[in-house]
Amino acid sequence: MPVKRMEIRDKIVLGRPIMMASDGRITPSSTTTCTIANNFNNFNNINTIASQSIPKIITPSDLQALVGPRTEVRIVSFQEIPNNSYEQLVKEVAEVKADVKKALSEISQIKNLICQLLNQPQHPNVESPEPPIVVPIRASFPIDNITEMSAIENKLAENEDFFQNMVNEFTNYLEHETENRNARSCSYAIVDQFFTRDFLLNFTWTGSTRNEGAKFAMRTFQNIIKLFYTVINNAADSACDMAEIEDFFKSILKNSQKRVSSLNGERNRCTSNKKPKNQNIMTSDSSYSKIDDCEVVCINDDGILVAFVESLNVVYVQNSEFTEVLTQLINEMYSHYESDHTICTSVTPRKVYAVKSVVDDNWYRGEVVSVSGQEVTVKYVDYGNTEVVRFECLRNLTGYFGQASSYAVKVFLPMELIEGEGERKEEKEALEEKVVSEFGKMIVNLVPQMKVLRKYKGEWIVDLCVNGCSVAEELEKKGLARAADEDVVCRLIDSQENSDELEGEKNGVLVYVTHIVNPHEFYVQLEADTEAIDQLQESIQIVGESMPQLMDVKVGDLCLAKYSMDGNWYRAKILDSTEDITSVQFLDYGNMDVITDGTLIREISDAFEKFIPYARRLALPLIPKDHQDEWRHEAIEAMQKLYQDQPARYTVISQADDLAYVHLITEEGTSAEEMLLKMSLAEPLSIIEPHSVGFVSHINSLTDFYMQLERDTADLEFISYSLSELGAKEGSAEENVEEGKMYAALFDEDNSWYRAKLIHSAAAGELEVIFVDYGNTAITNSVKYLPDKIAELPILSRKCSLKLPESGKWSEEAEKKFVELAQEGATCFNIVPLAPGQTTLVRLLLDGKDVMEILSQEEEHQENVPAESPKIAEEKNIFAQVSHINSPGDFYLHLSTRSDILDKVLNHLENPPMDPVTERRTDKICAATFSADGCVYRAKIEGTEDDKFKVFFIDYGNTTVTSDLWELSQEFQAIEPLAIRCALEKTTPGNWTKDHLEKFLELSKGGEENFQVIFVDRSSTPILVKLLLNGQEISLESPEESWQTLESQISSLTEEMVNASMVRRDAEAIASEICDLSITQCEDELNAIIHPAHSTQLSDIPEDP
């Protein structure tokens, strides 16, 4: 055993140590009797014991007084034990162990009493973010050497009583010495009772280290870890698993050097006297390190710390319960990032980073507010204040530090300044600064009482009190501020929303343009996704060549395809396929390729298929010049040159159906829109101003109609007058016409000329045109050249659409009502645009009433009518696959007649530019993520469960609980559910059993088996059907069940016929009919019962007269 300096935690008798093996057993010794506290001659041993904590000498007489009666410990050598006295040996050893235990307890008491006499703690009394180090619970703790740790590890394994005693004592310590009883706080509270901090410097979790020299592996001490785990689960308010304990040890060991350093004093929390701008606390982009507010745990009546005063109405508060945890987080960040020299070369606004404060050189979590040159303004998410730092002060936030919630919550106070008459702007600003300063002195770092008044648009409005007095009253006494109405704060929150939108538009999302079809269709990748895309591509290149060729090529399928330009493999979707040629689009880049070699198209593994496409489809709010359908090559080329190999930023204008309209600006500030407009290659997309007055000029449907604005009346009259003069002039009509060009065209119904675009030129001189200022189409044979001054005027009709109702489509009655309301263009509507685009989604108001409400009244009579079952084609040979089974009496089918529609829906949902659902009401049709495969499907919201939503997948029949809900375009909302709810007819009494269900599941083969469907009763719910397999009706019931059913039917039928015959008093007929209906129980007839297709049906028996 290694020789070491004797300390109070050693197993000793004064004068000579008791020798112990590594497993805690006492080893043989020539000494047979030792006396504790009887011999104080070896005073140096006692002095050594107390040298770390006792600065002066204690005399032997002092210790004699402390110890009390002497205690003897007898140690027996093996030579003293007779061979036939094994039982006596066991008894002696047990007595020795008991004596040692008692001695150790008394030694621990000595140490406690010495500290009490000296009125001095064992360790320097310094502030520390960790729980204070107290007198050890047992003499063996805290552990400071590997020999002792090994001995305890073995003893915990061999002695259950010792293990349980340790559990009880450490649990008792936590119950009496700690207030915060969550698992992590309890872990920190006792780790210093287990080990000295210096000792833990010798450990890593695995034993490996980047530095020279070996370290011990903590994971090999499983019994100590088990003891730790058991204590925490006994004492903590909430349970934890072994993985969490192991993670805690990994964290402690990783930061062991920092924990030693922290004994020298706690670093100050970051503060700043600069007044920050009003910003959102967290990023809204899901691709960033997401840190959520811990508002629920922070909003309490007490236990609140005010971390930062932003203004008179805005403060940031922390829950005092998490002070220790937050301090630990900051200290661990300091240890980690002080050695991380990877400087961020670029940063993304609204993303959270690790930031080194210039105030105290500590590391904190900060959200980037803005970037100016090499300076970055950050907001510290755990405190609320802002600071300007340089690029070199930022590091990427690792996953561990990004997992915890932000510990500061923004709250609003209803107060207002007490202003003097005629104060100038400068004086008001000075007054506000004074009030904020005074306000901060009153509440920062104090624990005020907080009362929640209300929650408005997700923000908390509260009142704060200090020492029982409202801060508003205290400020009013000083003539600085007073309580205000809550509406003042609500208006502030509203204005904050607007400023946030402007700030988001100013900063934008950093992207790289990967492919440009035209200004109305281009694709980008988020800069934040760059690393993930690179990793994905590396993996694809490794396995691409080894994947099997895709033999069954179908439009819409995903695959791996080799790009002809660089020979690399990419994820792709099949757009079109013929015998020799396949067109694909690369999911993560947006560009397309034509492949003629089938070996260059490979199957895609599930591991690659689960990632969402990284390419986002966007559009600029422009249309081609001169109202053309196609973009000129110069416009495409100019845009490609502008964004080639350089980042850009986009801000969303609106999301219209499957397309996001954006402003796109280079890092140098060049706008693609401005460039194309200056080059006369584009025109602005027509935008309807809110609350414009307009008329309906043409109606195709409620989702496809055209409107003219009242403000354009003069231009319409000018065009009409000019074209009437043009038509009156003599001259032949144009003969060499081009499709897509603008002309003056004659409308035969009123014999007037209008501006029109040629859609199609047919034989015999017939021309199909659309009258661009009205929206209707017609056939004409008279068109004339259009003067430039007329052709260049903007198109004066706007294609519009109303939102779909909850049912997903408008009824014929609603369509007719809308035509009636429009009165052929005579009715003035107030127009509220909801989403711009080539088709503008609008809300129309008529005399202040929403037109949708008027139209919905036409459909009220349908609300009490049961929902119709989906229309099913009247075909004899309909085949289907089972999509979901609840039971044989409740399952869902995919009809083969609807496979094309289902493919269309699924293809759309593979790469949809969708927005999260904002209106999460019951029965809303949306898209939802299915957790089992990570894919998105159409769904209907059925209700809420906790903080998630229960949804029903309308195209499959199953349900799930999810929080990932997405908006669907109107087109795909309108498609009726594609899963048909059905039931098999049960011929035997009773309910369907588990055996029936298992047999049905087996026959359906997980939805791969094709059944022929015969509809028995379409009016029932579910629809009653028969399923045929290979021409035979499937039967889930056993032969015995079928036989019993047939017997019952025969018995019932016989009884009815007897009664009928008795009425006729025809006894002979009774005997004859009963005889005819008798059935012998032979095997052949039983088979006929099981397979009725080959036998006479009961329905063939003549009915009773």
What is the pLDDT, as a whole number, of residue 209?
A: 56
The residue ranges of DSSP E strands in 468-591, in sequence order, are 469-470, 481-483, 509-518, 521-526, 558-562, 569-577, 582-586
Q: pLDDT digit string (tens) for 172-192?
A: 888 777 666 777 778 877 887
Please name the residue that has the structure tokens 């993304």: 348
Higher pLDDT, 9 or 45: 45
Percent of all residues in the chain with a pLDDT value above 90, rounded to a whole number: 12
What is the pLDDT, as a whole number, of residue 344?
A: 74
What is the pLDDT, as a whole number, of residue 38?
A: 35
What is the pLDDT, as a whole number, of residue 504?
A: 46
What letter represents residue 124's amino acid?
Answer: P
For the cut 70, the answer to whether the pLDDT of residue 297 exceeds it is no
Which of 196-200, 380-384, 697-701 shows the lowest per-residue confidence on average (mean pLDDT)?
196-200
What is the pLDDT, as a whole number, of residue 1039?
A: 66
What is the pLDDT, as a whole number, of residue 1069?
A: 52
Q: Which helix (H) or strand (E) holds 105?
A: helix 86-118
Of 1026, 1022, 1037, 1016, which Cα lies nearest the Cα of 891?
1022
Q: How confident is the model at residue 13 (pLDDT cuts 50, 70, 90)?
A: very low
What is the pLDDT, as a whole number, of residue 599?
A: 92
Higher pLDDT, 345 or 790: 790
Beta strand 616-619 with 659-666 is: parallel
For the cut 50, the answer to whether the pLDDT of residue 561 exceeds it is yes
What is the pLDDT, as a whole number, of residue 732?
A: 59
Q: pLDDT digit string (tens) for 273-292?
A: 222 222 333 333 333 333 44
What is the pLDDT, as a whole number, of residue 525?
A: 92
SS3 913: coil
Number of Cβ within 10 Å of residue 1055's Cβ equals: 10
Burial class (CB in 10 A: 0-12, 13-18, 19+), 23: middle
Which of 217-231, 509-523, 896-910 shows the lowest per-residue confidence on average (mean pLDDT)?
896-910
Q: pLDDT digit string (tens) for 1062-1096?
A: 544 554 554 455 445 444 444 445 455 444 444 33
Give me the DSSP letters along 847-897.
Answer: TTEEHHHHHHHTTGGGTTSPPPPPP----SSEEEEEEEEEETTEEEEEEGG
Mean pLDDT of the chain: 74
Higher pLDDT, 278 or 493: 493
What is the pLDDT, as a whole number, of residue 595?
A: 93
Higher pLDDT, 718 or 129: 718
Q: How confident is the model at residue 8 (pLDDT cuts 50, 70, 90)?
A: very low
Please name the residue that has the structure tokens 């606390």: 281
What is the pLDDT, as a whole number, of residue 295?
A: 38
Of the segments 70-74, 425-429, 1056-1060, which one has the largest average pLDDT value? 425-429
What is the pLDDT, as a whole number, of residue 40?
A: 35
Q: Residues 906-912: contacts with CB within 8 Å, 24+ apart?
A: 906/556, 906/937, 907/555, 907/556, 907/573, 908/658, 908/972, 909/935, 909/936, 909/937, 909/938, 910/556, 910/558, 910/573, 910/613, 911/573, 911/587, 911/613, 911/617, 912/658, 912/936, 912/966
143 contacts 149 by C-beta, under 8 angstroms: yes
Which of 178-182, 419-423, 973-977 shows the lowest per-residue confidence on average (mean pLDDT)?
419-423
Domains in the chain and their CATH numbers?
A: 146-262 (no CATH), 304-418+430-484 (2.30.30.140), 502-520+620-685 (2.40.50.90), 526-616 (2.30.30.140), 694-857 (2.30.30.140), 879-1036 (2.30.30.140)
Q: How far apart are CA 657 and CA 301, in angstroms?
A: 46
What is the pLDDT, as a whole number, of residue 307?
A: 84
For the cut 80, the answer to whether the pLDDT of residue 41 exceeds it is no
Q: How far apart are CA 895 and CA 878, in angstroms?
A: 7
Q: pLDDT digit string (tens) for 646-671?
A: 889 988 777 655 667 888 988 888 88
Q: How confident is the model at residue 97 (pLDDT cuts 50, 70, 90)?
A: low
For the cut 50, the answer to whether the pLDDT of residue 35 exceeds it is no
Of the segments 454-463, 917-926, 996-1005, which one has the largest average pLDDT value? 996-1005
- Determine the straight-line distance between the first and last CA of the chain, rounded to whole angstroms: 109
Q: How far apart are CA 441 and CA 446, in angstroms?
A: 9
What is the pLDDT, as a whole number, of residue 445?
A: 58
Q: pLDDT digit string (tens) for 667-711?
A: 888 888 889 988 888 888 877 877 788 999 999 889 889 999 988
Q: How far apart are CA 208 and CA 432, in angstroms?
A: 58
Range 1044-1061 average pLDDT = 59
